[in-house]
Structures are given as structure tokens and as C-alpha cells.
Chain A
């Protein structure tokens, strides 16, 4: 499976600021996704990061709040904008590869706390 890294691994941010999370994969992947996991909860898809075009957002998530970039087949960023304490969560990057393309793997996550 692909090796997926995320930066930062955790951060504590003040209300009203923004944080950009980076996701790097060691091989080219077909699909990249961003998920949110609140404490004790399941995984919620925020958006699909599309290479060279605007991300596809799920219901309840908007581009102004969660802008996403994917400049190539191995890298994506998620920005959490104008943060509030309700944004405190774990944010996970996830990928599906070009081979064994059914399988989906997760990055280690970014634990965000907003004060």
C-alpha cells in the first residue's frame, strides 16, 4: 500500500484563524479524499480532491470553509478556515491507488484543537 504522510500531526489554533493540512503520498494515486473524525465518531467525508480542478464537496461542507488543492497525483492540502471550537477534530487524508484500485488507505491524521 502507499505510504501517506500528513503535516502537521497536531495543532492548537485560535478561533478565527486558518490552518492548512498537507497530505503527501509516496506514489501516484487515482483518488484523494479528506475526512473528518470527531472524538468517538465515525468517518465523515468532507470532499474528494480532484487533480487540477475544484474539489467535490459533500453535503454540509463548502469550499469557503474547507478549500482544497490537489496540484498533482501525490499531494493535496486541506485548509480549515475561520476556525471555531466546533472544528476541533481529526482530519484524515485518504487515497486509492492506480493498482488494486478498490482499496482505500488513510493517512495518520491531523488532530486539530481550536481554542
Chain B
């Protein structure tokens, strides 16, 4: 089955700096890659996703890049703010109605004021 590895496990940045979180996946057939943000005590929230037919997607301060050849994808957050502090999870899945998300282990991002 699919295996998703996520790095780093913790990341601290100064407010205003950029943050990058990286994930690698094992199954070359995977074609959907979402990112979730989970604040303490809250549910995971879908913040951005990318399908394998594109290499990059942006939404305001966040972007995701995908390298299918290398089987890795990354989350980029620019101009970080304290409210960006949370645990971020990447995931990967195959296509098809019964596809299941396989999650990475998570990255605790702390934005220091």
C-alpha cells in the first residue's frame, strides 16, 4: 500500500518568514495530494490540494508543488503569521470512488512573534 513520509516533524520560523514542509509518497499511481491544518483541539481542515495533472497550485499565502518523477510534494507558506501555528498533515491517494487517504506523520509548525 501507499506510504507517505513527512519532514520535518517540527518547524519553528520567525513571523514573516517562509515555511516549507515536504512529503514523499511511495505509490506512483497516487494522483491526489491534499494538505490539512489541525489547530490544537480542533478537527483537521483541508487548506489546499493538488492533483497530479498540475505541478503547482497557489492560494494566497500558501502553495503546493508536486514532482511526480521524484514522488514528492511540498507545502509552502509565505509571510507566516502566528495564526499559522498548527500541525500540518500531508496525504496521498489513488483515484477512484473508494480511494483512501494515507496521511503523513504531521509537522508541528510554530511561528514565533
Min C-beta distance of A69 to chain B, whole Å: 18
* 8 Å CB interface, B85-108 against A: 89, 97-98, 100-101, 103-106
CB of B105 within 8 A of CB of A42, answer: yes
- In Å, the complex CA distance between A101 and B91 comes to 16
Q: Does A63 contact B (CB under 8 A)?
A: no
Selected interface stretch from B14-22, B42-50, B64-72, B73-81: B42-50
Scoring B42, B46, B51 by chain A CB atoms within 10 A of each residue's CB, the highest score goes to B46
Count the B residues whose beta carbon is within 8 Å of the partner chain — how many?
19
* 8 Å CB interface, A60-99 against B: 92
- In Å, the complex CA distance between A107 and B43 comes to 7
CB of B103 within 8 A of CB of A109, answer: no
- In Å, the complex CA distance between A42 and B4 comes to 11
A1-14 to B contact mask, C-beta < 8 Å, 1/0: 10000000000000
Contacts A42-B89, A42-B104; is A106 near B32 (CB within 8 Å)? no
Collect the chain B residues with CB atoms within 8 Å of residue A1's CB.
46
- In Å, the complex CA distance between A33 and B104 comes to 18
CB of B46 within 8 A of CB of A105, answer: yes
B37-61 to A contact mask, C-beta < 8 Å, 1/0: 0000011111001010000000000
Return 19 A-B CB contacts under 8 Å, by A number. A1-B46, A30-B97, A31-B98, A42-B104, A42-B105, A45-B101, A48-B100, A101-B97, A102-B32, A102-B51, A103-B34, A103-B49, A104-B34, A104-B46, A104-B101, A106-B44, A106-B45, A108-B42, A108-B43
